[in-house]
Amino acid sequence: MIWFQNYSTEQINSILDQYMTGLLEIKAIAIDDNSITATMPVNNKTRQPFGILHGGASVVLAESIGSIASNLILDPNVQKGVGLEINANHLRPVATGFVTAVCTAVHIGKQTHIWDVRISDESGNLNCISRLTVAIIPK
């Protein structure tokens, strides 16, 4: 297990509910030994003017769940993780339903964490691949 302690989806959602992620209705639905999974609705809050999921909403989902993942690895009394770089490849449009993001570690170092975030539609079609680098800094 990579987490500092055992965390529940309820604990993660209490964080997500407070910020931009709450406005976009992003919810953690699973946490296991090595990954976090979250969902986001495709609705008028997350669509762009052409009626499909806004790429920026996908990036918010990816960065948010990856940043939370980094901070769940760290001792919160000593360090914190902040986003350093993110990229996203938008592979196919999504117009309705929910998307699901699965966040897994690529690298967990002393000064940086790198996360792979794969976002899929309800049919399991991959619509976005994102990589997030998180800087680890003293609290």
HEC profile for the chain?
CCCCCCCCHHHHHHHHCCCHHHHCCCEEEEECCCEEEEEEECCCCCECCCCCECHHHHHHHHHHHHHHHHHHHCCCCCEEEEEEEEEEEECCCCCCCEEEEEEEEEEECCCEEEEEEEEECCCCCEEEEEEEEEEEEEC
**What amino acid positions are annotated as catalytic residues?**
63
Whether 14 contacts 82, CB under 8 Å: no
Residue 28, both tokens? 């953690």
